[in-house]
Amino acid sequence: MAIYAIGDIQGCFAAFQQLLRVIEFNPGKDSLWLTGDLVNRGPQSLEVLRWVFQHQDQVTMVLGNHDLHLLALAEGFGRSHRSDTLDQVLNAADGKVLLDWLRCQPLMLTGQGYAMVHAGLLPEWTIDKALDLAEEVEDGLSGPHYRQLLSSLYGNRPVRWGEELKGSDRIRVIVNAMTRMRLVNQQGEMDLSYKGGLADAPAGLLPWFEVENRRHAEIPVICGHWSALGCHITEEVVAIDSGCLWGGSLTAFRLDDRAVFTLPCPVYCEPGA
């Protein structure tokens, strides 16, 4: 039995299926961890959702920002972007079933000596604290007032965590850190505008996983989201969004021996679109 973590699929269903063949995935024995952003911008978001839903006994996933964007749009919140490819899901006969299942998926998980989250964790959070905060969001999304939560997701502020935060500000910081964050300053304030690689990062900002004395450093974190970073694997972070959507590759990481498998992908969407 093997567990494979796979980076952001974003509707690239054909590449996803080909990668499963490359790793010789056996649904009778193996399981998958998916880093979120199953949907959007690629051509087959509906097919990805249907496959994961049908194989949910073998798949564990965390929600990404594009997954949450889909859930919000379905309830009439936010606005569609020119590069969105979500209409096929929103108009599908089984769309409501898929969306009801999607909003009940976790924001963070732990197991096998790893944590997994779509984007990252703020430096002052321990793993246990982050799990508790993720559960606050998960309870809201799966509960009767989920529309209220979805209506408050959009926005970049507050930029840092504080125990005093309440209501939509509290939820927004948790969600932005776990699904959108790339860079922070030494005080743990998030910059949510920069999307480039490490070489051109603005002065005074650094990757969330390089902040000194961050409180979750005892366990490696598997994540996606940062396609410009590429496949970046160290003892402390396993970042595996390698930009399949942009003509990069789709990456699988086998947890037990840290083997890495990559599949070159065609260009579906130009960076920044």
Residue pLDDT, tens place only, 220-240: 999 999 999 999 999 999 999
- φ and ψ at 169, to 5 degrees? -60, -40
Chain length of the chain: 273
Q: Does residue 64 or residue 268 have the better pLDDT?
A: 64
Q: Which residues contact 170 (CB under 8 A, 6 or more apart)?
A: 136
Q: Could you count the other beta carbons within 10 Å of the beta carbon of residue 256?
A: 11
Picking from 77-81, 112-116, 260-264, which range would have the lowest pLDDT averaged per residue? 77-81
Q: How far apart are CA 235 and CA 3, in angstroms?
A: 18
Residue 269 has what pLDDT?
65
Amino acid at 200: D
State the fold for domain 3-264.
Purple Acid Phosphatase; chain A, domain 2 (3.60.21)
Q: What is the pLDDT, as a whole number, of residue 272?
A: 47
pLDDT, residue 102, reads 98
pTM metric for this prediction: 0.96
pLDDT of amino acid 266 = 85
pLDDT of 134 over the 80 cut: yes
Q: Please check the confidence at residue 110 and state whether its pLDDT lies above 50.
A: yes
Mean pLDDT of the chain: 95
Question: Tell me, what's the pLDDT at 273?
Answer: 42
Which tens digit of pLDDT belongs to each residue from 165-211?
999 999 999 999 999 999 999 889 999 999 999 889 999 999 999 99
* Model pLDDT for residues 27-73, shown as the tens digit of each residue: 999 999 999 999 999 999 999 999 999 999 999 999 999 999 999 99
Are the C-beta atoms of residues 7 and 250 closer than 8 Å to each other?
Answer: yes
When pLDDT is cut at 50, 70 and 90, the band that residue 268 belongs to is confident
Strands (DSSP E) found in 26-173:
31-34, 59-61, 108-111, 114-117
Mean pLDDT score, 67-83 = 95
Cβ neighbours for 184, distance < 8 A, ≥ 6 positions apart = 122, 123, 190, 191, 205, 206, 207, 208, 211
Sketch the domain layout of the chain as residue ranges. 3-264
Q: The tokens of 8 are what? A: 């952001």
User: CA-to-CA distance for 140 and 27, rounded, in angstroms?
Assistant: 31
Helix 95-102 and helix 45-54: axis angle, to 10°? 70
